[in-house]
A and B are shown apart, each in its own frame.
Chain A
Amino acid sequence: MAVPSVARLPPREIPGMNPVEAARWYFDQAAARLDLSQNMRKLLLTPKREIKVQIALEMDNGEIGTFLGYRVQHDSARGPFKGGLRYHPEVDGDEVVTLAQLMTWKTAVVNIPYGGAKGGIAVDGSLLSRRELESITRVFVDEIHDSIGPNKDIPAPDMGTNAQVMAWFANQYEKYHGFNPGCVTGKPLELHGSEGREEATGRGVVTIAQQLYKRRGKPLAGSTVAIQGFGNVGTYAARFFHEAGAKVVAVTDVTGGTKNAGGLDVWALIDWGAAKTPLAQFPGGEPITNEELLSAEVDLLVPAALGGVLTANNAEHVRAGMILEAANHPIHPEADEIFNRREILVVPDILANAGGVTVSYFEWVQNQQHFKWELSRVRQELDRILIDSFDKVWTLATEKKVPLRTAAYIIGIGRVGRATVLGGI
Chain B
Amino acid sequence: MSWTLKINGIPQTFEPSEQPAALADLLKHLQIDQAAVVAEVDGQIVPRADFEKTLLQDGQSIELIRFVGGG
Q: Do A and B bind each other?
A: no
